[in-house]
Amino acid sequence: MKTVWTGRSGKAELRIVDTGKFFVALADVNGKRQLEIEAETADEARRRLHEEIGKANPKYVGFSGAGNRFLHFFPNGFHSDGYHGEERTYKLRAKEKLEQVLPLDRAVEAAGCGEAILSVYGATNLLSPFEKMRLQDVLRGPSADMFIRAAARFSRGDAKSALARWSGY
C-alpha cells in the first residue's frame, strides 16, 4: 500500500492510499479511524472523502435543507416580497458585468481574463469561501485560460468537450 495524498480537515488527518487494486480514503482524528471509503480512483476517493466530511459538519444542510432555508426567508419562493431586491438583483448585475468583461462568445478563445472573471465572482455569494479560494487558485494559475475556455464551452452546451478539458481538476 502506498499513500498517494495527505491533507487535513479541522482535527482530521486525511489520506488516500493505493492498495494496488483500489484506493482507500481515510480520515483519522487523534489516531482513531473516523472514516474509510473505497473507490476505483484516487480522485473518486478524495471527492467522496470531502463529501462525507462536509456532511459531518454541524452546519451541513444538504440540498433539501438548503431549499427549506430558502423558503424560510422567502416563503413564496422566487415570487416572495424582497426576493428580487435581496437576492436576484445583485446576481443579475454580476451577470451583466461578466457579459461586459468577457462575453460568452469571446470566452471560448479567451486569454488573460482570469482576474476579470475572479472580480465578478468576488461580488457574489454564489461560492463558499473555500470554493472562492480554489477558484482564485485556478484563475490565477497557469491553467486559467484553459479553465475559462472549458467553462464557456460547457455554458454553450458542449459538455462532453468541456468536461474532457476539465478532467485535470
The answer to whether residue 75 sits within a structural domain is: no
Q: What is the mean pLDDT of residues 135-143?
A: 94
Q: What is the pTM of this model?
A: 0.58
Structural domain containing residue 16: 2-56
Structure confidence by residue, pLDDT tens digits, 18-41: 999 999 999 999 989 999 999 999
The whole-chain average pLDDT of the chain stands at: 89
- The answer to the question of residue 120 being in a domain is yes
Boundary residue ending a domain (25, 41, 56): 56
Inside any domain, residue 97: no
Domain count for the chain? 2
Q: For the residues 107-129, what does the mean pLDDT come to? A: 90
Q: Is the pLDDT of residue 129 over 90?
A: no
Distance between CA atoms of residues 40 and 18, nearest Å: 10
Does any domain span residue 70?
A: no
Residue 110: name the closest of 78, 75, 147, 141 by CA.
147
Residue 162 and residue 151 in contact, taking contact as beta carbons nearer than 8 Å: yes
Residue 9 lies in a domain: yes
pLDDT in tens, 59-104: 888 888 989 999 999 999 999 988 988 888 888 999 999 999 999 9
131 falls within a domain:
yes
Q: Is residue 89 part of a domain?
A: no
